[in-house]
Structure 1
C-alpha cells in the first residue's frame, strides 16, 4: 500500500475499533454480524488490510453507521466540503482505475456519492447490498456496461441509469477509452436491522 492508502486504512481501522468498542462488541461478535472472518476484521482494525468495498459495507452496516462514517471525519458537521483529489479511494485497479467516495451522509438513511474511473478491461462485481438500496449512475465520458440481475445495459457519455442495489450487479469497461462516471448510492435504515442489536449467541 502507498502512503495515502496506508493512512486511509489506518483511519478506517481506528474508527471500526472505536465503534465496535462503543457497542461493547467483541471481535467475534462484529465478525459474525458483518459476515467477515475474524482474521479480516483484525487486519482491518490494525490498518494492515486494504479491504474491498463490499467488506467495508458489511462492517459499516453491522455497526449501524454507514460507509461514509468510516472514511469521513468523525465529528458531525452540517456542511462538509471534500476538496478535489481528497476523497477516499476505496477501489483501485491494476491499470489505474479508481473508485473514490467523495461525499456521504450519516445513518440511518445513508447516501454515498462516488467518482469512478474505469480503464479498459476494468470490472467490478458487487454483491447485493442491504434491502432497499438504490443506485443512480451517470456516465460522463467513455462507455460503461452495467449488469443488474443478469441483464446488461451499455451506457455512453451522458446516459444515466437507476437500479436496485439490493441485487447482484456489476460495472465493466469493455471499450478502449477510460469510462468516467458518477455514482450515488442510497441505503435506507442503516443500523435499524434486527441483527444489529442481537445477542452474542
Structure 2
C-alpha cells in the first residue's frame, strides 16, 4: 500500500467535503493525531480504522484506496484488487472499481476460525448492505441483534446501524458484502 498516496486521498476527500481534522475525528472515532499521521503517509491504518474514516466522510474505503476510473467495461484481475489484511488474520478484498460519483463497494472477506472482525460504525442514513456467505459460518450483529449465517445464506440490513462480523467456529469463513452509501 502506498501510504503517501493513501494519505493524500484521505486529505483530499476530507477537504473536498469541508471536514476539519477535528470534525473527522468526532465523526469517525479516530483520534485527530492518528488521522494527521495517516494523512502525512507515516502510518498505515488498520482495516477497521480505514472503514471508520470512510464512514466518517460518508464514503467507502475503496474511494480512499484508489483513484476513480471510468470505462464501460472493466476487468479487475486478482492481482489488481486491493487486499487489506488485518493483524487478526482476516482479509478484505475490494472487488468493485472506484467509479466517479458512485459510493459502492463489493467486497470478499476471508476470516480464519475463531476471529472477531470488530465493530463497524453506522454509515450515512439511507446506506444499504448485503451480505452473502460462500463458505463457513458467520455471525453478523446488527444494532445488537445476532444473525447466524451459514454457507448459501444472505442478509440485508440498513447500513445506518452499528454492525459487526465474527467467525466463532472451527472452519474458515468466506463472505461477500455489497454496500451502497447515498
TM over 0.5: yes
CA deviation vs aligned residue, 1:35-70 (integer Å, no higher than 9, x gap): 243311221122222224454345445656543222
Change (3 A) 1:79 1:86: same
User: Does the aligned pair in 2 maintain the 1:134–1:185 contact within 8 Å?
Assistant: yes
**Residue number in structure 1 paired with 2:150:** 156
In structure 2, C-alpha distance between the alignment counterparts of 1:107 and 1:44, rounded to whole Å: 23
Describe the SS at the equivalent of 2:160: coil
In structure 1, C-alpha distance between the alignment counterparts of 2:43 and 2:92, rounded to whole Å: 17
Change (3 A) 1:182 1:75: closer
User: Does the aligned pair in 2 maintain the 1:30–1:62 contact within 8 Å?
Assistant: no
Larger Rg, first or second structure (1 or 2): 1
- For residue 38 of structure 1, the aligned residue among 16, 32, 41 is 32
In structure 2, C-alpha distance between the alignment counterparts of 1:79 and 1:72, rounded to whole Å: 18
**Residue number in structure 1 paired with 2:65:** 71
Q: What is the TM-score when the length of structure 1 is the normalising length? A: 0.74
Give the superposed CA RMSD.
Answer: 2.6
User: Does the aligned pair in 1 maintain the 2:69–2:97 contact within 8 Å?
Assistant: no
In structure 1, C-alpha distance between the alignment counterparts of 2:74 and 2:17, rounded to whole Å: 29
In structure 1, C-alpha distance between the alignment counterparts of 2:158 and 2:10, rounded to whole Å: 27
In structure 2, C-alpha distance between the alignment counterparts of 1:180 and 1:110, rounded to whole Å: 23
Q: CA deviation at 1:20?
A: 4.8
| Unaligned residue ranges in structure 1 (runs of 5+) | 1-6, 189-201
User: Does the aligned pair in 1 maintain the 2:113–2:169 contact within 8 Å?
Assistant: yes
In structure 2, C-alpha distance between the alignment counterparts of 1:144 and 1:89, rounded to whole Å: 20
Describe the SS at the equivalent of 2:105: strand
In structure 1, C-alpha distance between the alignment counterparts of 2:165 and 2:58, rounded to whole Å: 27
**Residue number in structure 2 paired with 1:140:** 134
**Residue number in structure 1 paired with 2:7:** 13
User: Does the aligned pair in 2 maintain the 1:8–1:88 contact within 8 Å?
Assistant: no
Give the aligned length: 177
| Unaligned residue ranges in structure 2 (runs of 5+) | none
In structure 2, C-alpha distance between the alignment counterparts of 1:171 and 1:45, rounded to whole Å: 28
